[in-house]
Amino acid sequence: MEIDFEIQGETPSKKNSRVNTRSGRSFPNKRYTEWHKNAMNELFAEVFNLRNEEKAKLPIKQCKIKLTFIHGDLRKRDSDNGTSSIFDTLKDSGIITDDNWQVIKHYEVSNEFEKNKPSCKICVEVLENEQ
C-alpha cells in the first residue's frame, strides 16, 4: 500500500538552520520552525482525509519512501539536508514511528524545477512488519 503526501514550500535544512546560544545550546531558526509548523498542519490535514485502511496503518513501522523535491528557483541546495527535514517531520507528525534504518528500509530522492511552485511530494510504501 502506498500513501501520498505533499508539503508546500521550499524545504529548509534543519541542521544548517540553527541558532546557537551563549550556553552552547542550539535551536532550529525561525524559518525552519515556521516551515515545520506549517508542514505538520498540512500532514495532519492529509492524514485526516486518508481512507480508513490507510489510517489503520499509522504510525508506519516499516516503509520505503520516495521524495520529489520541486524547487521554485534554481538556487543550489543539498537534497540530503531537505531529506532529513522531511523525515523528522514525518516522525514528529506520527506518520512513521521513527526515521532510523529499521523503519525507513529504503528511500529515493529526486529533484525537479517548477518556477515559483516549490513543494515536496512524498510517497510512502508501507511494508509488512519484518521481525
* C-alpha cell belonging to residue 71: 524547487
Q: Taking the model in full, what pTM does it have?
A: 0.89
At residue 131, does pLDDT exceed 50?
A: no
Q: What does R_g of the chain's alpha carbons equal in angstroms? A: 15
* Span 95-106, average pLDDT: 97
Q: Which fold has domain 2-18+27-126?
A: 60s Ribosomal Protein L30; Chain: A; (3.30.1330)
For residue 75, CA distances in Å to 105, 113, 118, 129 come to 30, 10, 12, 40
| Among the listed residues 75, 71, 76, the one whose alpha carbon sits nearest the alpha carbon of residue 113 | 71
Is the pLDDT score of 121 beyond 70?
yes
